């Protein structure tokens, strides 16, 4: 993004000011009630585009890593989380096959172009061990066509299909692909109470009506690359 880390910090502050406590509470629920089922507590996990650290601070794991271009984000990352301040499309400072899980939420659409997305996915594949997973969540352009561009730093429009395709192109098996998962955004609009978030996660039928973000999970499996499970 033009303007670099300082501009990112400004955008984060404008967008999320006054909602950090609420967002952290919601992410605690998301981690405990949903994402923990995919992430064993003995995992080595990287949060890609960690933002204010709401996911990586709340997920249970043995070793935690966070990466973001916004240097201010480091101030919100919990003690014990290793911080990488770098361009995610460049080589990561991790050995091949080191990680169990890479997680990214509402991040790929902020990269400058599709080539950057693909280089990032390739790095995730390199750093994941065999059987490791890449969990991707983001706004689905099919369901938020105009509102997608309300965010100044949205640059790459994605759907569950295009996200799945770039994962498969880089060696992943798509283990789960949902076109509708969470509502569009926690940075604008209503802030439902915590019990409603819990209820929403327990009632997938609601996702079909309210979900505007996709969820795609890719697995590193060199023997079965190319298969897709719905």
Length of the chain: 230
Backbone angles phi, psi at 37, to 5 degrees: -70, -20
- State the residue for tokens 């303007």: 3
Residue 203 falls inside a structural domain? yes
Does residue 5 surpass a pLDDT of 60?
Answer: no
Residue 93 falls inside a structural domain? yes
Contact 87, 71 (CB under 8 A): no
Which pLDDT does position 172 carry in this prediction? 98
Residue 90 falls inside a structural domain? yes
Residue 112 falls inside a structural domain? yes
Which pLDDT does position 150 carry in this prediction? 86
Domain count, the chain: 1
Per DSSP, the three-state class of 137 is strand
CATH number at residue 32: 3.40.50.150
Instruction: Tell me the C-alpha distance between 230 and 228, whole Å.
Output: 7
Does residue 76 surpass a pLDDT of 80?
Answer: yes
Which pLDDT does position 222 carry in this prediction? 81
Residue 86 falls inside a structural domain? yes
Domain encompassing residue 190 = 4-220
Which pLDDT does position 178 carry in this prediction? 98
Residue-wise pLDDT for 80-135, tens only, equals: 999 999 999 999 999 999 999 999 999 999 999 999 999 999 999 999 999 999 99
Instruction: Tell me the C-alpha distance between 76 and 80, whole Å.
Output: 12
Does residue 230 surpass a pLDDT of 50?
Answer: no
Residue 230 falls inside a structural domain? no
Residue 170 falls inside a structural domain? yes
Average pLDDT over residues 11-19: 52
In this prediction, residue 17 has a pLDDT band, given cuts at 50, 70 and 90, of: low
Tell if the pTM clears 0.95, that is, is over it: no
Instruction: Tell me the C-alpha distance between 189 and 144, whole Å.
Output: 14
Residue 228 falls inside a structural domain? no
């Amino acid at each position: 993004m033009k303007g670099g880390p300082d501009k990112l910090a400004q955008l984060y502050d404008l967008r999320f000011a006054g909602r950090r406590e609420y967002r952290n509470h919601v992410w605690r629920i998301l981690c405990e009630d949903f994402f923990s089922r995919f992430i064993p507590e003995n995992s080595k996990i990287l949060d890609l585009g960690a933002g204010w650290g709401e996911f990586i601070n709340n997920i249970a794991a043995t070793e935690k890593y966070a990466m973001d271009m916004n240097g201010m984000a480091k101030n919100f990352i919990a003690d014990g989380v290793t911080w990488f301040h770098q361009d995610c499309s460049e080589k990561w400072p991790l050995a091949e096959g080191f990680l169990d899980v890479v997680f990214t939420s509402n991040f790929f659409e902020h990269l400058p172009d599709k080539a950057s997305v693909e280089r990032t996915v390739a790095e995730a594949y390199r750093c994941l061990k065999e059987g490791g997973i890449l969990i991707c969540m983001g706004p689905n352009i099919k369901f938020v066509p105009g509102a997608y561009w309300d965010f100044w730093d949205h640059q790459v429009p994605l759907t569950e299909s295009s996200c799945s395709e770039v994962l498969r192109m880089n060696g992943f098996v798509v283990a789960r692909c949902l076109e509708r998962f969470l509502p569009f955004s926690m940075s604008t609009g209503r802030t439902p109470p915590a019990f409603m978030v819990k209820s929403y996660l327990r009632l997938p039928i609601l996702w079909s009506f309210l979900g505007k973000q996709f969820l795609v999970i890719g697995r590193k499996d060199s023997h079965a690359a190319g298969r897709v499970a719905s």
